[in-house]
Structure 1
Amino acid sequence: MPRLVIVLPVAALRVGDSFAVSAWPLHVTVLPPFLTDSPAADIAAAMADVARTRPPLTVAAGEDALFGRRHDVPVSLIVPSEELTTLHQALLAAIRPFAAEPDEPAFTGPGFRPHVTQKPPARLNPGAVLTLTQLALVDMLPRAHLAGRTVQAVSPLREP
């Protein structure tokens, strides 16, 4: 069963891009990982429908924090914005029907804390401003013939 995630990459990704966990390109996770029995193409179509209704996002990096079960994953928090929260909620609504378990923690909208995981030496410094223009659907399960995480689909956010 695929485990997928939807991200806003800092630099554009392409379908088929693959990377190890330690080499994830910088991104804002806009919809946390979820399990699904649905074809990636169906989820990609729902993601594209949302992307067509949203303009590119300008976001700012806030303070650093530690995430993860052991609070040992350094991240740069993203200053909350109505546009980012609304995008998260729209994706949540569009993708929920495809989730294997609708009550999975990935679908807890109020707990959404936008951030960019730091991958030394890559990181966002507090105050950095980014314009994010693309959504990417990434398969989180490594495959023997690939480097690790693999981009299944990308959708540009509509031009304003």
Structure 2
Amino acid sequence: MEPTENAKKPDKLRFWLALMLEDLPVGTQFQPGRLHLTIIPWFVSELDEDALINSFSGKFSKINKFNLVLGQKAMFGPKKDVSVSLIEPNQTLQALHELSLEWFDEIGARWAVKNAHVAQDYKPHIRRRQGTKIKTGEIYKINSLSLIKAARHEDGKRVVAARISLK
């Protein structure tokens, strides 16, 4: 039987790279709001998920553990109504962001967000959430890098597609 025009196509996945403040194993499903630091925001790729994960694992397998220090509070967003904590300048984090952009180009990805805020527009931060306690000067030990996936049509669910333990 031929599909009709109204047949629903499978939803394409979108991905992002993040440092999760609480390490989550592969397959963990979570809702938006989990504390994290975005390395590169939502993107899509024509690679299938297995090829994307293999590429991710190959590209980032040699990254060493490092620390992040929470900096001052700031307000982001077009209306300046999103409370964040900036991250103190960190060469390792900047190098990881640049490596991620290199990988983004290698896999032929494209942004799935209107404003990607990458390269010179990248301002590392953690969004402050109700019910969570993060303090200026707090140090976070970064032990892993996660590739997160979600359906493009927002259902609120995110899943850890792959995770690399840093050396």
Deviation at 1:57, TM superposition (A): 1.5
Q: Which residue in the other structure is 1:122 paired with?
A: 132
Deviation at 1:41, TM superposition (A): 2.4
Of Structure 1 and Structure 2, the greater helix share is in 1
Which runs of structure 2 are paired with 1:57-76 in the superposition (5 Å)?
A: 57-76=66-85
Q: Which residue in the other structure is 1:8 paired with?
A: 19
> What SS does the corresponding residue of 1:106 show, helix, strand or coil?
coil
Give the root-mean-square deviation of aligned CA atoms.
2.3
Structure possessing the higher radius of gyration over alpha carbons: 2
Aligned partner letter, 2:26 = V
Give unpaired runs (5+ residues) of structure 2. 1-11
Q: Calculate the TM-score normalised by the size of structure 2.
A: 0.80
Count of residues in correspondence between the two structures: 154
The answer to whether structure 1 residue 26 and structure 2 residue 26 are counterparts is no
* Distance in structure 1 (CA, Å) of the matches to 2:71 and 2:45: 33
Deviation at 1:47, TM superposition (A): 2.4
Q: 2:122 aligns with which of 112, 122, 129?
A: 112
* Distance in structure 2 (CA, Å) of the matches to 1:149 and 1:3: 10
Q: Calculate the TM-score normalised by the size of structure 1.
A: 0.84
Q: Percent identity?
A: 24
Deviation at 1:101, TM superposition (A): 3.0
* Distance in structure 2 (CA, Å) of the matches to 1:71 and 1:119: 15
